Structure 1
Amino acid sequence: MTDNLARLSELGVSIWLDDVSRRRLNSGNLAGLVRDKHVVGVTSNPTIFAKALSDAADYDEQIRELAGRGASVDAAVKEITTTDIRNACDLFRDVYDASGHVDGRVSIEVDPRLAHDTDKTVAEALDLWKTVDRPNLLVKIPATEDGLPAITRTLAEGVSVNVTLIFSVERYRAVMDAFISGVEQAKANGHNIAELHSVASFFVSRVDSEVDKRLDKIGTDEAKALRGKAAVANAVLAYAAFEETFSTDRWRTLAAEGANAQRPLWASTGVKNPDYSPTLYVDELVVANTVNTMPEATLDAVAEKSELRGDTVTGNAGEAQAVFDALAAVGIDISDVFVTLENEGVEKFEKSWQELLESVDGQLKAAKEG
């Protein structure tokens, strides 16, 4: 069943699971995915934690302990989430060592309410790094305008970063520049840059969801013919930007000192439109030195149904640009699409974080009463 997943790994795509919970950790489910399905990393986000806390009894013991010592809601959420992440880091430690510290990575996101506050984002990123205290952690920082300097400053302190909520190639270029600046500063600060790692999480399916909605509203045959094409084209252009940036003299100087390039990570790869193949955002984004982080349903679909054709990205930037030219021709304002998606992304994570806080608050109160 896992031949496709093995093949995907052989083609240079690191398979990460886009989910973590105490149930997965305690039941052996996550260990099984590492053993049987070539999963070599995990990502989390506020929505994932909100779901994990809302429908599982696995946290009851820790909730009672936190309630017993009068922990605040914010402190409880931090302790609960960092405990899961620390345990996941320990589970992936063998993968981390075997991969030369490239994979075996586990991500935790800064409080999404800080997405537009550079100083507080940096402070929280450094605090999460110290609290989890595992070398295979990645701290997730959103690629908002205020997040960009936070990325540089966090890396400059020797902390590995997962940059999240990237939608446009323009913003991605700014992210890569922030990353390289961070590595340069880390080197100047005396950190071992060979141990500094980063991924850039480029969101995929949400681009099609927003663009397709606008194409349907336009309603012409030309517009309808472009449905389901924007997301992959966007990612292909992103990879071309990655190749360009990490072949510059500026980067080569750092690479000669042992620096690791920031890998593109394809995020939001679960297909939201049932008309599309469930493996669309995996099959069409196969290229070496990338990560694809998938929900388990997508992982299973790839194992069972994927039709891998080798590298489907390199050299296709011209075709991808033609898709964007066609989108503009039918009236799609792609810049507005990206602004909308970034704003919605931050808002969704803020809402999930609030749901998480409310869920834990209710559980703490129930534990005190019980």
Structure 2
Amino acid sequence: MTVVLSRARAGLMLAIQAGLAAGLAWYVAHDLFGRPMPFFAPIAAVIALGSSVGQRLRRTSELVIGVAAGIGLGDGIILLIGNGPVQIGVIVLLAVLLATAAGGGAALIVQSASSAVLVATLTTANGPVWTRFLDALVGGGIALVVMTVLLPLNPLTVVRRAADPALRAFTDGLHDAARGLAAAEPEVIHGALERLRAAEGTFAAFSAAIEAAGENVAFAPARWRARGALAQYVDGAPQLTYALRNVRVLLRRAQTALDDHEPIPAVLPESVRHLGDAVELLRQEWDRGIEPVAARERALRAVAESGRAYQEGVGYSGGVVVAQTRTAVADLLRATGVEYAEATRQVRDAIGWSTRPRGARRRPGRST
């Protein structure tokens, strides 16, 4: 029951937007423009609002183009060869081919074909074709007004809701890998790696939410005040994606180090655990809208511990783990707002290499 209520709350604003847009679209097309049965108007409004997050403007444009293409094909073919099942099949075939050749996405293809079917089955030849196109234009326009002016979603809420599962999955993967490395259980690290790969969808949703938030803030005056709070997510998300890629390399090499029976200093799994802590602290500090100081400190502790492991002696794959920890920490510092040069300097200081001359770093030893 709790899950059902949570899902209902998550979709409540979209439901309100869709209901309002559908009603307004019918009112404008029917009462203001005098269309007797403007069913394309509320349909266009609902489809536009139901488009994928972050692509509403593009999807709305595709919707209108798809409706126009479908209506034009439907009316033209019916005028030439009449109604019937064969004609409907030909209309859909041509509508899909036209939309695909135009390079349209799924919204354009589906809407073009479905509009053609509606014209062929539910409408008559009475009235000019452009009136049905006007219905779709009214619906799409009303949807844009509703979602950007009348009832804009809170972009910060949307982004936080999308960021939370992505960052939690990132943290859990690192913590699981740290436990596997400490217990010398390569299968545990392999499981953590697989879960991080599976979490790519949550990071894609995070990126889409950021795109949608930028669109929302740009076109919705009521949400302009959220620009500052969103900046942390907008600026940090790409760096987190880089960190995730480096961590996946880190975990593969950690698994290889165990499989090859390389020496694993006790501080190496601690370094991985601290890196997971840093991601979790970043999630918490972003959620509270504060400077991610604790995340930076824990990330630098992670790289410092990896430097200690290097000094104690690691094998070839262990050395790669250290190197990838250093790179991932630099990415994480960048995600917290630290500039590239400063992030590199802080990592070098933490690992203890800032004052060492070139060529003085000892190569990892005691590999087996």
TM range (shorter): under 0.3
More helix per residue: 2
Question: TM-score when scaled to structure 2?
Answer: 0.23
For the pair shown, the structure with the greater C-alpha radius of gyration is 2
Question: TM-score when scaled to structure 1?
Answer: 0.23
Structure with greater contact order relative to length (CA < 8 Å, sep ≥ 6): 1
